[in-house]
Structure 1
Amino acid sequence: MQTASGAKLNAGRVALLLLFLGAGWYFWETAALLPLKLLVVMMHESGHALATLLVGGSVEHITLRIDESGACLSSLPPGIFRKIIVFSGGYLGSAVAGAGLLLATFRFRLRRWVLGAACVWLGAMGVIYAGDPFTLAFCLGTAGVLALAAKFLPEGAVDVLNLFLAAFTALYALFDLRDDLWNSSIRSISDAALLAQHTWVPAIAWAALWTLLGVMLLGWAAYVSMHARPTSRFSSLSMPSRRF
Protein backbone atom coordinates (compact mmCIF):
# COMPACT_ATOMS: atom_id res chain seq x y z
CA MET A 1 0.00 0.00 0.00
CA GLN A 2 1.24 3.48 -0.81
CA THR A 3 -0.02 7.04 -0.55
CA ALA A 4 -0.64 9.45 -3.40
CA SER A 5 2.87 10.85 -2.91
CA GLY A 6 4.39 7.38 -3.43
CA ALA A 7 5.19 6.65 0.22
CA LYS A 8 5.04 2.91 0.92
CA LEU A 9 3.83 1.18 4.04
CA ASN A 10 6.70 0.22 6.34
CA ALA A 11 5.79 -3.22 7.70
CA GLY A 12 8.49 -3.08 10.37
CA ARG A 13 7.14 0.14 11.85
CA VAL A 14 3.60 -1.21 11.83
CA ALA A 15 4.65 -4.44 13.59
CA LEU A 16 6.59 -2.51 16.22
CA LEU A 17 3.72 -0.09 16.79
CA LEU A 18 1.26 -2.96 17.26
CA LEU A 19 3.70 -4.71 19.59
CA PHE A 20 4.02 -1.61 21.78
CA LEU A 21 0.27 -1.04 21.83
CA GLY A 22 -0.29 -4.66 22.84
CA ALA A 23 2.40 -4.52 25.52
CA GLY A 24 0.98 -1.30 26.93
CA TRP A 25 -2.49 -2.83 27.05
CA TYR A 26 -1.29 -6.07 28.67
CA PHE A 27 0.89 -4.43 31.33
CA TRP A 28 -1.44 -1.47 31.90
CA GLU A 29 -1.95 -2.09 35.61
CA THR A 30 1.70 -2.72 36.49
CA ALA A 31 3.74 -0.26 38.52
CA ALA A 32 6.46 -0.17 35.85
CA LEU A 33 4.25 1.95 33.61
CA LEU A 34 3.46 4.56 36.28
CA PRO A 35 6.19 7.04 35.18
CA LEU A 36 4.87 6.88 31.61
CA LYS A 37 1.31 7.45 32.80
CA LEU A 38 2.43 10.49 34.78
CA LEU A 39 4.24 11.75 31.69
CA VAL A 40 0.98 11.60 29.70
CA VAL A 41 -0.91 13.27 32.55
CA MET A 42 1.64 16.08 32.28
CA MET A 43 0.89 16.30 28.57
CA HIS A 44 -2.81 16.55 29.43
CA GLU A 45 -2.25 19.35 31.93
CA SER A 46 0.14 21.10 29.55
CA GLY A 47 -2.72 21.12 27.02
CA HIS A 48 -4.82 23.03 29.54
CA ALA A 49 -1.93 25.39 30.24
CA LEU A 50 -1.24 26.11 26.58
CA ALA A 51 -4.94 26.71 25.89
CA THR A 52 -5.05 29.08 28.87
CA LEU A 53 -2.18 31.15 27.50
CA LEU A 54 -3.68 31.17 24.00
CA VAL A 55 -6.92 32.73 25.23
CA GLY A 56 -5.10 35.40 27.24
CA GLY A 57 -5.25 33.79 30.68
CA SER A 58 -2.51 32.97 33.15
CA VAL A 59 -1.40 29.64 34.61
CA GLU A 60 -0.95 29.61 38.37
CA HIS A 61 0.49 26.13 38.77
CA ILE A 62 0.30 22.50 37.66
CA THR A 63 0.31 19.51 40.01
CA LEU A 64 0.67 15.76 39.47
CA ARG A 65 -0.31 13.05 41.91
CA ILE A 66 0.99 9.51 42.34
CA ASP A 67 -2.58 8.24 41.71
CA GLU A 68 -2.29 9.58 38.11
CA SER A 69 -4.49 12.59 38.74
CA GLY A 70 -3.41 16.09 37.82
CA ALA A 71 -4.61 19.68 37.94
CA CYS A 72 -3.91 22.93 36.14
CA LEU A 73 -4.98 26.00 38.11
CA SER A 74 -5.55 28.94 35.78
CA SER A 75 -7.05 32.40 35.73
CA LEU A 76 -9.17 33.14 32.67
CA PRO A 77 -10.70 36.28 31.19
CA PRO A 78 -14.50 36.18 31.14
CA GLY A 79 -16.20 34.42 28.24
CA ILE A 80 -17.73 31.00 27.68
CA PHE A 81 -15.76 30.43 24.48
CA ARG A 82 -12.46 30.76 26.37
CA LYS A 83 -13.62 28.23 28.96
CA ILE A 84 -14.59 25.73 26.27
CA ILE A 85 -11.13 26.01 24.70
CA VAL A 86 -9.29 25.60 28.00
CA PHE A 87 -11.43 22.73 29.31
CA SER A 88 -11.04 20.94 25.97
CA GLY A 89 -7.29 21.53 25.79
CA GLY A 90 -6.47 18.66 28.12
CA TYR A 91 -8.35 16.08 26.07
CA LEU A 92 -6.44 16.91 22.94
CA GLY A 93 -3.12 17.61 24.68
CA SER A 94 -2.03 13.98 24.93
CA ALA A 95 -3.54 13.07 21.55
CA VAL A 96 -1.62 15.89 19.86
CA ALA A 97 1.55 14.86 21.71
CA GLY A 98 1.23 11.25 20.51
CA ALA A 99 0.58 12.36 16.94
CA GLY A 100 3.47 14.81 17.10
CA LEU A 101 5.87 12.14 18.34
CA LEU A 102 4.97 9.86 15.44
CA LEU A 103 5.23 12.54 12.77
CA ALA A 104 8.38 14.17 14.11
CA THR A 105 10.23 10.86 14.41
CA PHE A 106 9.20 9.06 11.25
CA ARG A 107 7.86 11.65 8.84
CA PHE A 108 10.32 14.44 9.53
CA ARG A 109 13.23 12.34 10.85
CA LEU A 110 13.89 14.61 13.83
CA ARG A 111 14.80 11.72 16.15
CA ARG A 112 17.04 13.19 18.86
CA TRP A 113 15.39 16.58 18.48
CA VAL A 114 12.15 14.96 19.64
CA LEU A 115 13.70 13.84 22.91
CA GLY A 116 15.50 17.16 23.26
CA ALA A 117 12.26 19.09 22.81
CA ALA A 118 10.53 16.86 25.36
CA CYS A 119 13.39 17.50 27.78
CA VAL A 120 13.09 21.28 27.37
CA TRP A 121 9.30 21.14 27.70
CA LEU A 122 9.40 19.14 30.95
CA GLY A 123 12.16 21.27 32.42
CA ALA A 124 10.32 24.49 31.62
CA MET A 125 6.98 23.25 32.92
CA GLY A 126 8.60 22.03 36.11
CA VAL A 127 10.57 25.20 36.85
CA ILE A 128 7.83 27.65 35.86
CA TYR A 129 4.58 25.93 36.83
CA ALA A 130 5.22 23.03 39.24
CA GLY A 131 2.92 23.49 42.20
CA ASP A 132 4.62 21.07 44.61
CA PRO A 133 7.95 19.27 45.13
CA PHE A 134 6.68 15.99 43.64
CA THR A 135 5.68 17.64 40.36
CA LEU A 136 8.97 19.51 40.17
CA ALA A 137 11.02 16.38 40.91
CA PHE A 138 9.12 14.33 38.34
CA CYS A 139 9.52 16.95 35.60
CA LEU A 140 13.23 17.52 36.21
CA GLY A 141 14.01 13.84 36.73
CA THR A 142 12.20 12.76 33.57
CA ALA A 143 13.80 15.60 31.62
CA GLY A 144 17.20 14.34 32.75
CA VAL A 145 16.45 10.78 31.62
CA LEU A 146 15.29 12.00 28.19
CA ALA A 147 18.37 14.20 27.86
CA LEU A 148 20.64 11.22 28.53
CA ALA A 149 18.70 9.13 26.00
CA ALA A 150 19.02 11.85 23.36
CA LYS A 151 22.75 12.15 24.04
CA PHE A 152 23.87 8.54 24.25
CA LEU A 153 21.38 6.21 22.53
CA PRO A 154 22.13 5.14 18.93
CA GLU A 155 19.75 6.39 16.27
CA GLY A 156 17.90 3.10 15.93
CA ALA A 157 17.26 2.97 19.66
CA VAL A 158 16.04 6.58 19.60
CA ASP A 159 13.51 5.65 16.91
CA VAL A 160 12.29 2.70 18.98
CA LEU A 161 12.04 4.82 22.15
CA ASN A 162 10.13 7.57 20.33
CA LEU A 163 7.74 5.04 18.82
CA PHE A 164 7.19 3.46 22.23
CA LEU A 165 6.45 6.85 23.79
CA ALA A 166 4.10 7.73 20.93
CA ALA A 167 2.27 4.39 21.16
CA PHE A 168 1.86 4.61 24.92
CA THR A 169 0.78 8.26 24.76
CA ALA A 170 -1.85 7.41 22.15
CA LEU A 171 -3.07 4.43 24.19
CA TYR A 172 -3.35 6.49 27.38
CA ALA A 173 -5.19 9.26 25.55
CA LEU A 174 -7.74 6.80 24.21
CA PHE A 175 -8.14 5.09 27.61
CA ASP A 176 -8.61 8.49 29.24
CA LEU A 177 -11.36 9.35 26.79
CA ARG A 178 -12.88 5.88 27.13
CA ASP A 179 -13.21 6.30 30.90
CA ASP A 180 -14.87 9.69 30.53
CA LEU A 181 -17.26 8.30 27.94
CA TRP A 182 -18.31 5.02 29.57
CA ASN A 183 -17.57 5.39 33.30
CA SER A 184 -20.24 7.68 34.75
CA SER A 185 -18.47 8.11 38.11
CA ILE A 186 -15.32 9.39 36.40
CA ARG A 187 -17.23 11.43 33.83
CA SER A 188 -19.01 13.32 36.62
CA ILE A 189 -15.72 14.87 37.80
CA SER A 190 -13.94 15.13 34.45
CA ASP A 191 -13.26 17.96 32.02
CA ALA A 192 -16.37 16.79 30.16
CA ALA A 193 -18.42 17.54 33.28
CA LEU A 194 -16.94 21.05 33.47
CA LEU A 195 -17.81 21.61 29.82
CA ALA A 196 -21.35 20.39 30.49
CA GLN A 197 -21.75 22.81 33.41
CA HIS A 198 -20.85 25.80 31.24
CA THR A 199 -22.57 24.86 28.00
CA TRP A 200 -25.58 22.69 28.91
CA VAL A 201 -24.30 20.12 26.43
CA PRO A 202 -24.21 16.70 28.19
CA ALA A 203 -20.83 15.49 29.40
CA ILE A 204 -21.16 12.28 27.40
CA ALA A 205 -21.59 14.33 24.22
CA TRP A 206 -18.38 16.26 24.91
CA ALA A 207 -16.52 13.02 25.70
CA ALA A 208 -17.81 11.46 22.48
CA LEU A 209 -16.75 14.50 20.44
CA TRP A 210 -13.20 14.56 21.78
CA THR A 211 -12.92 10.78 21.47
CA LEU A 212 -13.82 11.04 17.79
CA LEU A 213 -11.36 13.87 17.19
CA GLY A 214 -8.61 12.10 19.16
CA VAL A 215 -9.05 8.84 17.26
CA MET A 216 -9.08 10.67 13.91
CA LEU A 217 -5.93 12.65 14.76
CA LEU A 218 -4.00 9.63 16.04
CA GLY A 219 -5.18 7.45 13.16
CA TRP A 220 -4.08 10.02 10.59
CA ALA A 221 -0.68 10.50 12.24
CA ALA A 222 -0.13 6.73 12.45
CA TYR A 223 -1.11 6.27 8.80
CA VAL A 224 1.28 8.98 7.61
CA SER A 225 4.11 7.91 9.91
CA MET A 226 3.90 4.22 9.02
CA HIS A 227 4.57 5.03 5.36
CA ALA A 228 8.21 5.56 4.42
CA ARG A 229 8.81 8.60 2.26
CA PRO A 230 10.09 7.76 -1.22
CA THR A 231 13.74 8.49 -1.85
CA SER A 232 14.26 11.11 -4.51
CA ARG A 233 16.59 10.16 -7.34
CA PHE A 234 18.28 13.50 -6.78
CA SER A 235 18.86 12.96 -3.05
CA SER A 236 22.34 11.53 -3.57
CA LEU A 237 23.47 14.34 -5.86
CA SER A 238 25.28 17.39 -4.56
CA MET A 239 25.60 20.78 -6.16
CA PRO A 240 29.14 21.65 -7.31
CA SER A 241 30.81 24.40 -5.37
CA ARG A 242 32.43 27.41 -6.94
CA ARG A 243 35.34 29.51 -5.96
CA PHE A 244 35.16 33.23 -6.22
Structure 2
Amino acid sequence: MPALYQVLGERAVEAAPQLARRGLSVNHTQSITLGVMAVYVVVIALLWNLPYLRWSLWPFKMLVIAFHEFGHAITACCTGGRVKSISLDPHEGGVTHMQGGMSAITLPAGYLGSSIIGALLIFAGFDIVASKVASIVLGVCFLLTLWWARRDWLTIMTVLLAVGLLVACWFIAHGEALRWVVLFIGVMSALYSVWDICDDLILRKVNSSDASVFAKKYGGSSQCWGVIWSIISLCFMAIGIIGGIAAFPESFSQQEKDSQHFIPT
Protein backbone atom coordinates (compact mmCIF):
# COMPACT_ATOMS: atom_id res chain seq x y z
CA MET A 1 0.00 0.00 0.00
CA PRO A 2 2.84 2.54 0.50
CA ALA A 3 3.57 2.36 -3.22
CA LEU A 4 -0.05 3.13 -4.05
CA TYR A 5 0.09 6.13 -1.71
CA GLN A 6 3.31 7.30 -3.39
CA VAL A 7 2.22 6.96 -7.02
CA LEU A 8 -1.39 8.06 -6.70
CA GLY A 9 -0.55 10.51 -3.93
CA GLU A 10 1.77 12.37 -6.27
CA ARG A 11 -1.08 12.78 -8.74
CA ALA A 12 -3.35 14.00 -5.93
CA VAL A 13 -0.78 16.61 -4.92
CA GLU A 14 -0.43 17.73 -8.52
CA ALA A 15 -4.22 17.90 -8.73
CA ALA A 16 -4.57 20.44 -5.93
CA PRO A 17 -3.53 23.53 -7.94
CA GLN A 18 -5.47 22.23 -10.93
CA LEU A 19 -8.56 21.94 -8.78
CA ALA A 20 -8.08 25.50 -7.56
CA ARG A 21 -7.87 26.77 -11.15
CA ARG A 22 -10.65 24.66 -12.61
CA GLY A 23 -13.03 24.73 -9.68
CA LEU A 24 -15.19 21.60 -9.67
CA SER A 25 -16.07 21.69 -13.35
CA VAL A 26 -16.72 18.23 -14.74
CA ASN A 27 -16.07 17.37 -18.39
CA HIS A 28 -17.93 14.82 -20.51
CA THR A 29 -15.64 11.89 -19.69
CA GLN A 30 -15.77 12.59 -15.97
CA SER A 31 -19.55 12.99 -16.02
CA ILE A 32 -19.82 9.50 -17.53
CA THR A 33 -17.52 8.17 -14.82
CA LEU A 34 -19.65 9.79 -12.11
CA GLY A 35 -22.78 8.41 -13.76
CA VAL A 36 -21.32 4.90 -13.76
CA MET A 37 -20.43 5.36 -10.08
CA ALA A 38 -24.03 6.34 -9.35
CA VAL A 39 -25.24 3.21 -11.15
CA TYR A 40 -22.79 1.15 -9.11
CA VAL A 41 -24.16 2.64 -5.90
CA VAL A 42 -27.76 1.86 -6.87
CA VAL A 43 -26.96 -1.67 -8.07
CA ILE A 44 -24.92 -2.47 -4.97
CA ALA A 45 -27.66 -1.08 -2.70
CA LEU A 46 -30.31 -3.21 -4.45
CA LEU A 47 -28.31 -6.41 -4.65
CA TRP A 48 -27.20 -5.98 -1.04
CA ASN A 49 -30.73 -6.58 0.27
CA LEU A 50 -32.63 -8.52 -2.41
CA PRO A 51 -33.06 -12.22 -1.53
CA TYR A 52 -31.04 -14.62 -3.66
CA LEU A 53 -29.67 -11.84 -5.88
CA ARG A 54 -27.50 -10.54 -3.06
CA TRP A 55 -25.32 -13.63 -3.43
CA SER A 56 -24.01 -12.11 -6.67
CA LEU A 57 -22.10 -9.61 -4.52
CA TRP A 58 -20.64 -12.28 -2.28
CA PRO A 59 -17.23 -12.53 -4.05
CA PHE A 60 -16.79 -8.76 -3.88
CA LYS A 61 -17.88 -8.70 -0.24
CA MET A 62 -15.23 -11.25 0.56
CA LEU A 63 -12.71 -9.14 -1.34
CA VAL A 64 -13.39 -6.00 0.66
CA ILE A 65 -13.34 -8.03 3.86
CA ALA A 66 -9.83 -9.01 2.78
CA PHE A 67 -9.09 -5.26 2.51
CA HIS A 68 -10.43 -4.85 6.06
CA GLU A 69 -8.16 -7.56 7.41
CA PHE A 70 -5.21 -6.25 5.39
CA GLY A 71 -5.71 -2.89 7.13
CA HIS A 72 -5.31 -4.57 10.51
CA ALA A 73 -2.30 -6.57 9.34
CA ILE A 74 -0.30 -3.81 7.66
CA THR A 75 -0.74 -1.37 10.56
CA ALA A 76 0.28 -4.08 13.01
CA CYS A 77 3.51 -4.58 11.06
CA CYS A 78 4.09 -0.81 10.83
CA THR A 79 3.66 -0.35 14.59
CA GLY A 80 5.99 -3.11 15.72
CA GLY A 81 3.54 -6.01 15.79
CA ARG A 82 3.54 -9.38 14.06
CA VAL A 83 0.79 -10.97 11.99
CA LYS A 84 0.21 -14.64 12.73
CA SER A 85 -2.58 -15.33 10.25
CA ILE A 86 -5.54 -13.94 8.31
CA SER A 87 -8.71 -15.90 7.62
CA LEU A 88 -12.05 -15.14 5.97
CA ASP A 89 -15.38 -16.63 6.93
CA PRO A 90 -17.93 -17.72 4.28
CA HIS A 91 -20.60 -15.93 6.31
CA GLU A 92 -18.93 -12.64 5.38
CA GLY A 93 -16.60 -12.26 8.31
CA GLY A 94 -12.88 -12.26 8.87
CA VAL A 95 -10.25 -12.25 11.56
CA THR A 96 -6.60 -11.21 11.80
CA HIS A 97 -4.50 -12.88 14.47
CA MET A 98 -1.65 -10.59 15.42
CA GLN A 99 0.74 -10.02 18.28
CA GLY A 100 1.87 -6.60 19.50
CA GLY A 101 1.40 -3.37 17.61
CA MET A 102 -0.39 -0.18 18.69
CA SER A 103 -4.03 -1.05 19.27
CA ALA A 104 -5.05 2.62 18.98
CA ILE A 105 -4.03 2.34 15.31
CA THR A 106 -4.61 -1.32 14.48
CA LEU A 107 -8.20 -1.49 15.77
CA PRO A 108 -9.72 1.24 13.57
CA ALA A 109 -7.40 0.33 10.68
CA GLY A 110 -9.76 -2.38 9.45
CA TYR A 111 -12.71 -0.07 8.82
CA LEU A 112 -10.71 3.01 7.88
CA GLY A 113 -8.10 1.06 5.95
CA SER A 114 -10.72 -0.44 3.62
CA SER A 115 -12.20 3.07 3.23
CA ILE A 116 -8.81 4.50 2.27
CA ILE A 117 -8.24 1.67 -0.20
CA GLY A 118 -11.72 2.29 -1.63
CA ALA A 119 -11.05 6.03 -1.96
CA LEU A 120 -7.70 5.42 -3.70
CA LEU A 121 -9.31 2.97 -6.10
CA ILE A 122 -12.10 5.45 -6.87
CA PHE A 123 -9.42 8.07 -7.51
CA ALA A 124 -7.53 5.69 -9.82
CA GLY A 125 -10.76 4.62 -11.51
CA PHE A 126 -10.98 7.99 -13.27
CA ASP A 127 -8.00 7.05 -15.49
CA ILE A 128 -6.82 3.88 -17.27
CA VAL A 129 -3.11 4.28 -16.52
CA ALA A 130 -3.82 5.07 -12.87
CA SER A 131 -6.01 1.97 -12.75
CA LYS A 132 -3.13 -0.08 -14.10
CA VAL A 133 -0.83 1.26 -11.39
CA ALA A 134 -3.47 0.59 -8.74
CA SER A 135 -3.99 -2.98 -9.99
CA ILE A 136 -0.24 -3.69 -9.79
CA VAL A 137 -0.08 -2.44 -6.21
CA LEU A 138 -3.26 -4.35 -5.36
CA GLY A 139 -1.67 -7.49 -6.76
CA VAL A 140 1.34 -7.04 -4.46
CA CYS A 141 -0.94 -6.46 -1.48
CA PHE A 142 -2.97 -9.53 -2.41
CA LEU A 143 0.14 -11.67 -2.52
CA LEU A 144 1.17 -10.35 0.89
CA THR A 145 -2.31 -11.18 2.22
CA LEU A 146 -1.98 -14.61 0.62
CA TRP A 147 1.23 -15.19 2.57
CA TRP A 148 -0.49 -14.35 5.85
CA ALA A 149 -3.52 -16.50 4.92
CA ARG A 150 -1.69 -19.42 3.33
CA ARG A 151 -3.62 -21.92 5.48
CA ASP A 152 -7.09 -20.51 4.82
CA TRP A 153 -8.60 -21.88 1.60
CA LEU A 154 -11.34 -19.25 1.30
CA THR A 155 -8.87 -16.37 1.52
CA ILE A 156 -6.60 -18.09 -0.99
CA MET A 157 -9.45 -18.56 -3.48
CA THR A 158 -10.69 -14.97 -2.99
CA VAL A 159 -7.22 -13.52 -3.59
CA LEU A 160 -6.48 -15.72 -6.61
CA LEU A 161 -9.83 -14.92 -8.25
CA ALA A 162 -9.29 -11.20 -7.64
CA VAL A 163 -5.81 -11.32 -9.17
CA GLY A 164 -7.15 -13.31 -12.10
CA LEU A 165 -9.91 -10.76 -12.71
CA LEU A 166 -7.44 -7.87 -12.69
CA VAL A 167 -5.04 -9.64 -15.05
CA ALA A 168 -7.84 -10.52 -17.48
CA CYS A 169 -9.06 -6.92 -17.59
CA TRP A 170 -5.60 -5.73 -18.68
CA PHE A 171 -6.20 -7.39 -22.07
CA ILE A 172 -9.56 -5.77 -22.83
CA ALA A 173 -9.33 -2.55 -24.89
CA HIS A 174 -5.83 -1.70 -23.57
CA GLY A 175 -7.04 -1.82 -19.97
CA GLU A 176 -10.27 0.14 -20.35
CA ALA A 177 -12.23 -2.67 -18.70
CA LEU A 178 -9.72 -2.58 -15.85
CA ARG A 179 -10.68 1.03 -15.18
CA TRP A 180 -14.33 0.14 -14.61
CA VAL A 181 -13.49 -2.89 -12.47
CA VAL A 182 -11.13 -0.85 -10.30
CA LEU A 183 -13.82 1.81 -9.96
CA PHE A 184 -16.42 -0.80 -8.97
CA ILE A 185 -14.14 -2.38 -6.38
CA GLY A 186 -13.37 1.09 -5.02
CA VAL A 187 -17.06 2.00 -4.68
CA MET A 188 -17.81 -1.39 -3.17
CA SER A 189 -14.98 -1.08 -0.65
CA ALA A 190 -15.94 2.45 0.38
CA LEU A 191 -19.64 1.61 0.69
CA TYR A 192 -19.03 -1.70 2.42
CA SER A 193 -16.95 -0.02 5.08
CA VAL A 194 -19.68 2.48 5.91
CA TRP A 195 -22.43 -0.14 5.79
CA ASP A 196 -20.45 -2.58 7.90
CA ILE A 197 -19.86 0.07 10.55
CA CYS A 198 -23.52 1.05 10.65
CA ASP A 199 -24.79 -2.53 10.51
CA ASP A 200 -22.46 -3.98 13.14
CA LEU A 201 -22.01 -1.03 15.49
CA ILE A 202 -25.06 1.20 15.20
CA LEU A 203 -27.99 -0.96 14.11
CA ARG A 204 -27.21 -4.40 15.54
CA LYS A 205 -24.85 -3.25 18.32
CA VAL A 206 -22.50 -6.19 18.02
CA ASN A 207 -20.41 -6.50 21.18
CA SER A 208 -17.38 -8.21 19.63
CA SER A 209 -16.56 -5.56 17.04
CA ASP A 210 -13.31 -3.66 16.63
CA ALA A 211 -15.07 -0.56 17.93
CA SER A 212 -16.26 -2.27 21.11
CA VAL A 213 -12.69 -3.33 21.89
CA PHE A 214 -11.51 0.18 21.06
CA ALA A 215 -14.16 1.67 23.37
CA LYS A 216 -13.12 -0.58 26.26
CA LYS A 217 -9.49 0.45 25.86
CA TYR A 218 -9.88 4.16 25.17
CA GLY A 219 -13.34 5.16 26.39
CA GLY A 220 -16.59 6.08 24.72
CA SER A 221 -19.06 3.62 23.20
CA SER A 222 -18.83 1.39 20.17
CA GLN A 223 -21.78 3.24 18.61
CA CYS A 224 -20.02 6.58 19.08
CA TRP A 225 -16.83 5.34 17.46
CA GLY A 226 -18.93 3.76 14.71
CA VAL A 227 -20.47 7.12 13.83
CA ILE A 228 -17.08 8.84 13.87
CA TRP A 229 -15.48 6.19 11.68
CA SER A 230 -18.46 6.28 9.28
CA ILE A 231 -18.09 10.04 8.83
CA ILE A 232 -14.36 9.69 8.24
CA SER A 233 -15.00 6.93 5.70
CA LEU A 234 -17.45 9.09 3.76
CA CYS A 235 -14.92 11.93 3.78
CA PHE A 236 -12.28 9.61 2.31
CA MET A 237 -14.70 8.64 -0.46
CA ALA A 238 -15.50 12.29 -1.24
CA ILE A 239 -11.78 13.13 -1.36
CA GLY A 240 -11.19 10.28 -3.78
CA ILE A 241 -13.93 11.57 -6.12
CA ILE A 242 -12.76 15.18 -5.98
CA GLY A 243 -9.15 14.15 -6.49
CA GLY A 244 -10.08 12.04 -9.50
CA ILE A 245 -11.97 14.92 -11.09
CA ALA A 246 -9.03 17.27 -10.56
CA ALA A 247 -6.23 14.92 -11.61
CA PHE A 248 -7.68 13.18 -14.66
CA PRO A 249 -9.40 15.51 -17.15
CA GLU A 250 -8.31 13.44 -20.18
CA SER A 251 -10.91 12.11 -22.61
CA PHE A 252 -11.51 8.39 -23.12
CA SER A 253 -9.54 8.44 -26.39
CA GLN A 254 -6.58 10.20 -24.77
CA GLN A 255 -6.62 7.77 -21.86
CA GLU A 256 -6.55 4.85 -24.28
CA LYS A 257 -3.56 6.35 -26.13
CA ASP A 258 -1.72 6.91 -22.85
CA SER A 259 -2.50 3.35 -21.79
CA GLN A 260 -0.97 1.94 -24.98
CA HIS A 261 2.39 3.38 -23.88
CA PHE A 262 2.20 2.14 -20.27
CA ILE A 263 2.80 -1.62 -20.13
CA PRO A 264 0.83 -2.21 -23.35
CA THR A 265 -1.14 -5.43 -23.84
Coarse TM-score class (shorter-chain normalised): 0.7 to 0.9
Which stretch shows the higher mean deviation, 153-162 or 65-74?
Answer: 153-162
Residue 62 of structure 1: how far off its partner (Å) = 0.2
Query: Matches of 2:35 and 2:172 in 1, distance apart?
Result: 26
Match among 18, 21, 38 for residue 5 of structure 1: 21
Shift of 1:55: 0.8
Residues 1:229 and 1:154: Cα distance change in structure 2 (over 3 Å) = closer
Give the equivalent residue in structure 1 for 2:104: 84
Counterpart CA distance in 1 for 2:21 and 2:175 is: 26
Shift of 1:39: 0.3
Do structure 1's residue 197 and structure 2's residue 213 form an aligned pair?
no
Q: Distance in 2 between matches of 1:157 and 1:150?
A: 7
Aligned residues: 226
Equivalent residues in 2 for 1:1-244 (5 A)?
Answer: 3-6=19-22, 8-9=25-26, 10-29=30-49, 30-76=54-100, 82-106=102-126, 109-152=129-172, 154-186=174-206, 188-227=207-246, 229=248
Which structure: greater helix fraction? Answer: 2
Q: TM-score scaled by structure 2?
A: 0.78
The Cα shift of 1:99 comes to 0.7
RMSD (Å), alpha carbons: 2.3
- Separation in 1 of the partners of 2:248 and 2:161? 35
**What residue ranges of structure 1 are gaps of 5+ in the alignment?**
232-244
Kindly provide the amino acid, as one letter, of the partner of residue 162 in structure 2: T
Q: Which region of structure 1 is more displaced relative to structure 2, 220-229 or 209-218?
A: 220-229
Tell which deviates more after alignment, 100-109 or 138-147: 100-109
Using structure 1 for the length normalisation, give the TM-score.
0.84
State the 4+ residue runs in structure 1 displaced beyond 6 angstroms: none
Q: CA separation in 1, counterparts of 2:126 and 2:203?
A: 35
- Greater shift in the superposed pair: 115-124 or 102-111: 102-111
- Deviation by residue 1:10-51 (Cα, 9 ceiling, x = unmatched): 321111110111111011141111000000000000000011
Distance 1:49 1:196 in 2: 20
Q: Are the equivalent residues in 1 in contact too, given 2:123–2:243 (CA < 8 A)?
A: yes
Contact 1:115 1:149 in 2 (8 A): no
Give 1:215 shift: 1.0
Closer, same or farther: CA 230–166 of 1 in aligned 2, 3 Å: closer
Bigger Rg, which one:
1
Name structure 2 gaps, 5 residues minimum: 1-17, 251-265
The one-letter code sitting in structure 2 at the alignment partner of 1:41 is I
CA contact (8 A) 1:92 1:214 kept: yes
